[in-house]
Structure 1
Amino acid sequence: MDSLTQLLTGAVIAAAIVPRRHRRAALAAGAALGTLPDLDVIPLNLLNDNPVIKMTVHRSISHSLLLLPLVAILIWWFCRSRVGSRTSEAPKRWFWAIFLALVTHPILDCFNVYGTWLFWPFGEQTIMWGNMFVIDPMFTLPLLFGALWAWLWPQAWVSQKILLSSLALSGLYLAWSLAAQMYVWQKVDAQLSQMRLDAAPRLIGATPLNTLLWQVVVQTPDGVLSGDYSLLQDAADQPIAWVKVESDVVALKAAEHWQSVQRLQRFNQGFQIATVQDNQLIISDVRMGRYPNYTFNFVVGQWQNGQWQELAMPVQKQTRADVPQEWAYLKQRIWGIH
């Protein structure tokens, strides 16, 4: 999830757990703890110039559910050891405030399609449920209201109810997103079965800022099928209209042993296409963005002397989506507004 959502989630959880006299301190501490795992981008940017490593290592070590509980215990122990600290006044409540504010971060990140190494160091299998987009105001706004209320009126008797209600509203929206995704998933499964693609890997993800329009990507031997389904605009029995996006399987086969290609393949679980432009081999992650403007594209090879040569340093290729065009697409597919 985006940084603001992670910050607010940690802040509201911590403030809801500690005694009310500690509420403002808990908001600040929870916000810091909710942000902490994403600070891995600082050493990644300082110590490394490889864009593929930056993308694939983010949300790994710092997001591990096997590591973060130990970090939470160490932070709690350090704070409690200080004489007169708030943590020493209410150690049990502060333990759970610190623990939950920290470990909910990687769990929330699993709800979008970017992927999280939740069980690092045991393998590089990313977990990506895709039921929410990275930024979704319907999830974030209740948390923002709860955090602001608790900061302005930390001692008010109703503040605890406001905090819990904001968490409940965001939780209900999260549950709705899972139910909506399951509905679309069943529809996709039925259609792919009719197309004799039962075994084809598929990904169903929320589109930007909403959970009413869903993007569907299906892996095929020579590329992907891309489509979408609108809960409001498409009939229940209306088949998804597929766009076939071809991948240069010959070039990809020649590069399959390259370290950068293998790393991307593990990270995106095969939801990628290879294209050749100006004698350059480009790997595009098809999980985020919409054809032809995918968010993550990497130049990994160059055609030289009659064969593909791996680049010592991959290059990230930025493709900027036409924002007015994408916004018009969302309005039309969600609300039917042209």
Structure 2
Amino acid sequence: MDSLTQAVLGATVQTALLGRWQGRRALLYGAALGTLPDLDVVIDYGNAVNEMTYHRGFSHSLFVLTGVALLLTWLCGRWRDPGYSQRRLFLTLWLVLITHPLLDAFTTYGTQLFWPLPTTPVAWSSVFIIDPLYTLPLLLAVLAGLVLGPRDRTPRLAVAALLLSTTYLGWTLAAKYSAERQVRQVLAAQGQADARLFSAPLPFTSLLWRVMVDDGPERYRETWVGLFDGHPPQLVPLPRGGELAPILADSPAEQRLRWFTDDWLRYDRLGDDLVVTDLRLGATGYHSFRFVLAQREASGWRLVAEPSLWPRERGGREQLAVVWRRLWHPELPAPVADWAARLSRLPD
């Protein structure tokens, strides 16, 4: 999630548990500690693929953050208020730290909760990376705490905000299940009930979802599913370019991307570049991460030593307006094919 959301989440958690004794300082301590895991962004990992796939790594590990909480409890324990116990201090620091990666795991990016275990990064993918409906209750509780200060034995505003925001996360999981269920009903009628799916909310909403169906290395299908739709989803077949994948058989960068994305990749030859796209992130055709992994020369394809980002085509108000119209007008077709066609075009 965005840095503001992580800061207000940390501030609200610390206020709920220690605000009675720390007052407004709990907001400041919690906000600072809640953003600590994202300091891994200052590390130079060498190339664009590493920058993406090592982010949310060790600094987001539940194992590492538990150790950090124990260390901070030991360091700060001598200055704690005698009104609360060492155990309460540890619980607070631990919750402020681990709620950061747990919230990140609700997004599509991928969070390595169990680093150093080589498990696929966790991406429950039920929340867009910026979601005002989640952030607003926490932000209001923090602003009220700064103005009024915690006036109760238990800061009720902080507790209420946490309950409300957590309930919203539960709602997004239910919405995701509903969207996937609609697609599974279509697939079941085609004899493909066990097909592999990936779903993610479209920007700034939990009511409209992108759902992809894995049809193998050559193609995938995609649709938009609104929770208000009264008709079955229309799955649009799209090329995946798997015939180009053998060119990258010896590429460590491609292997790492396969692992990080759970193999939701697309391959395109664009001019003399072989571009690999993470299909999970962003809206159809406006994907956040595309990488140049090989280049065509007279003698054939050559793996690039340092993968770089392909120029990103950013969506704007026009694209958001299309999403908004589709949300409230289910009869409108989703522009999946038109937008996906951008992936096979050279930049202007």
Q: Percent identity?
A: 33
Tell me the CA shift for residue 87 of structure 1.
Answer: 5.3
| Residue of structure 2 in register with 1:136 after alignment | 131
| Residue of structure 1 in register with 2:46 after alignment | 49
Gaps of 5+ in 2: 333-348
| Residue of structure 2 in register with 1:257 after alignment | 250
CA separation of 1:253 and 1:197: change in aligned 2, threshold 3 A = farther
1:290 to 283, 287, 304: 283
Partner SS, residue 106 of structure 2: coil
Residue 77 (str. 1) matches residue 91 (str. 2): no
Tell me the CA shift for residue 251 of structure 1.
Answer: 1.4
Tell me the CA shift for residue 19 of structure 1.
Answer: 4.6
Q: 1:99-248 to 2 correspondence within 5 Å? A: 99-157=94-152, 160-221=155-216, 222-232=218-228, 234-235=229-230, 238-248=231-241
CA distance in 2, matches of 1:66, 1:86: 24
**TM-score when scaled to structure 2?**
0.90
Contact 2:203 2:283 in 1 (8 A): no
Partner SS, residue 276 of structure 1: strand
CA distance in 1, matches of 2:262, 2:328: 32
Q: How many residues are matched?
A: 329
Q: Which amino acid aligns with 1:293?
A: Y
1:214-248 Cα shifts (integer Å, max 9, x gaps) = 1111222212211111113x11xx22122222122
CA distance in 1, matches of 2:146, 2:283: 40
**TM-score when scaled to structure 1?**
0.92
Q: 1:279-318 to 2 correspondence within 5 Å? A: 279-318=272-311
Q: Which amino acid aligns with 2:68?
A: V
For the aligned residues, what is the CA RMSD? 1.8
2:80 to 82, 86, 91: 86
CA separation of 1:256 and 1:98: change in aligned 2, threshold 3 A = same
Tell me the CA shift for residue 269 of structure 1.
Answer: 0.6
1:227-275 Cα shifts (integer Å, max 9, x gaps) = 111113x11xx22122222122221122133111001110111111000
Tell me the CA shift for residue 279 of structure 1.
Answer: 1.6
CA distance in 2, matches of 1:87, 1:254: 62
Contact 1:22 1:86 in 2 (8 A): no
Contact 1:76 1:87 in 2 (8 A): no
| Residue of structure 2 in register with 1:34 after alignment | 34
CA distance in 2, matches of 1:220, 1:131: 23
Partner SS, residue 168 of structure 1: helix
Partner SS, residue 216 of structure 1: strand
CA distance in 1, matches of 2:125, 2:315: 23
Tell me the CA shift for residue 127 of structure 1.
Answer: 0.8
Partner SS, residue 294 of structure 1: coil
Contact 2:18 2:92 in 1 (8 A): yes
Gaps of 5+ in 1: none
Contact 1:216 1:228 in 2 (8 A): yes
Contact 1:204 1:216 in 2 (8 A): yes
Indicate the larger mover: 111-120 or 88-97: 88-97
